[in-house]
Structure 1
Amino acid sequence: MKKMKVLRLALYIMVVGLISAGCSGDDGPIRANPNLPNLNINLTLDLNLPQYNPLNFPGNAFVTQLQGVRGIVIYNIDNSQYTAFEIACPNTPVSDCSSMTVEGITATCPCNGNQYNIITGQITAGEGQYPMLAYRITRSGDQLTINN
């Protein structure tokens, strides 16, 4: 019986340790993009407002210029999962042409023609070292909160 308690305790400590190791608050290399300034992002969108209506339906994207370097693209995966990415081209310095355009699930950088998937943030066409800069996004009721 005592061995069982010790094994349970050891298992509990191991699981908590693994979870803690995987939940680091340091985004390190993901945020280490020299092309994009490190801005403090804290944005809440009320899905009841008409301008955010597209975000009430899976498969829709919405671009806001309220915060971010050039703005933020938000994508509704399934009404419980969303993605949010910086809309500035991640592989070029910020300039007049570094604001990407979004069509479907593809963001295109007019500076170099690179294309990125707005669900994963990964480059899908062109060359570049950096993916799109991801922001944290959570839904609580009819509110989407985006931050970093």
Structure 2
Amino acid sequence: MKKIWLLILFISLLFSCSDNDINNKNPYIPNYSVNFTIDMSFALYSNLKYMSNGIIISNQGAKGVIIFNTGSGYNAFDAACPNQALTSCTAMTINGINAVCSCDEAEYSLFTGLGKKEYPLKQYRVEVSGTVIHVYN
């Protein structure tokens, strides 16, 4: 009986472990390598110190990267519309706490990356050390 309980415990631990992988499977946005840092002590990025503020960093990812302060951390999303062909739309824009696609005016929450379409925003990993934000995949 002990062996059965140990087996059940082992299997449940095995399935509860996570590799902290962000699911970015999207047929419209290629997997570009993203690895950059910004320093919020510079005036250009100082708005990120405050909750519900975001900025777009161009020349990163497919169409740029949106960095957003959630109040409890930071999110980074690709600025490419997740439900449109990459060549058909310009980069998304920030409208308050949402990102808006230029093609179909679809809105996506910058807190969760979710919208009302099939694919959510493509997310990148974020690490914060003091005033420096590191975005990578």
State the TM bucket, normalised to the shorter chain: 0.7 to 0.9
Residue number in structure 2 paired with 1:50? 43
TM-score, normalising length from structure 1?
A: 0.78
* Equivalence for 1:91: 83
2:105 pairs with 1:110: no
After the TM superposition, list the runs of 4 or more consecutive aligned residues in structure 1 that deviate by more than 6 angstroms.
Answer: 12-16
Change (3 A) 1:129 1:143: same
- Of 1, 11, 19, the residue aligned with 1:23 is 19
The verdict on how the C-alpha distance between 1:92 and 1:18 changes in structure 2, with shifts beyond 3 A counting, is: same
Contact 1:92/1:98 (<8 A) preserved: no
What percent of counterpart residues are identical?
Answer: 32
Deviations 1:88-107 (A, max 9, x none): 00000112524111110111
**In structure 1, what is the equivalent of residue 3 of structure 2?**
none
Q: Which has the larger radius of gyration?
A: 1
Q: How many residues align?
A: 134
Residues 1-148 of structure 1 mapped to structure 2, 5 A cutoff: 17=14, 20=17, 22-23=18-19, 25=21, 27=22, 30-78=23-71, 80-95=72-87, 97-124=89-116, 128-148=117-137
Structure 1 spans left out of the alignment, 5+ residues: 1-9
The runs of 5 or more residues in structure 2 that have no matched partner are 1-6
Task: Report the CA distance shift for 1:42/1:14 in structure 2 as closer, same or farther (over 3 A).
Answer: same
TM-score normalised over the length of structure 2: 0.83
Separation in 2, partners of 1:32, 1:67: 18
Residue type of the partner of 1:99? Answer: A
SS at match of 1:44: strand
Cα RMSD (Å) of the superposition?
2.5
Q: Which structure has the higher relative contact order (CA within 8 Å, separation 6+)?
A: 2
